[in-house]
Amino acid sequence: MGHEFRTPAEAEVDTTPEQVWAAIATGPGIDSWFMGRNEVDPGIGGAVRTAFGDYNPESAVTEWDPLKRLAYTSGVAPDGRFVAYEFLIEGQDSGSTVLRMVTSGFLPGDDWEAEYEAMNYGLAFFFRALREYLAWFAGRTASPVTVFGPPVADWEKTWAALADRLGLSGSISPGDTVRFVPDGLPPIEGVVYSVSPQCLGVRTGDTLYGFMQGLGGSMVAVHHVFAEIDRSSTEAAWRTWLDLLG
Q: What angle do CA 138, 31, 131 make, to 5 degrees?
A: 40
Nearest-Å Rg of the Cα atoms of the chain is: 18
Do the beta carbons of residue 71 and residue 62 sit within 8 Å? Answer: yes
**Structural domains of the chain sorted by starting position, each given as residue range(s) with its CATH number in brackets:** 3-136 (3.30.530.20), 143-243 (3.30.530.20)
Four-residue CA torsion sign, 152, 156, 158, 159:
positive
Q: What is the DSSP letter of 197?
A: S
For the purposes of burial, counting CB atoms within 10 Å of the CB of 60, is it exposed (0-12), middle (13-18) or buried (19 or more)?
A: middle
Quote the pLDDT of residue 246: 66
What confidence score (pLDDT) does residue 186 get? Answer: 86
What are 119-153's pLDDT values in tens digits? 999 999 999 999 999 999 999 999 999 999 998 88
pLDDT in tens, the chain (246 residues): 889 999 999 999 999 999 999 999 999 999 999 999 999 999 999 999 999 878 889 999 999 999 999 999 998 999 999 999 999 999 999 889 999 999 999 999 988 998 999 999 999 999 999 999 999 999 999 999 999 999 888 999 999 999 999 999 888 999 999 998 888 888 999 999 999 999 999 999 999 999 999 877 899 999 999 999 999 999 999 999 999 886
State the pTM of this model. Answer: 0.95
State the alpha helices, DSSP H only, in 32-79: none
Q: What is the pLDDT of residues 145-165, one digit of tens each?
A: 999 999 888 999 999 999 999
Residues 236 and 223: their CA atoms lie apart, in Å, by 13
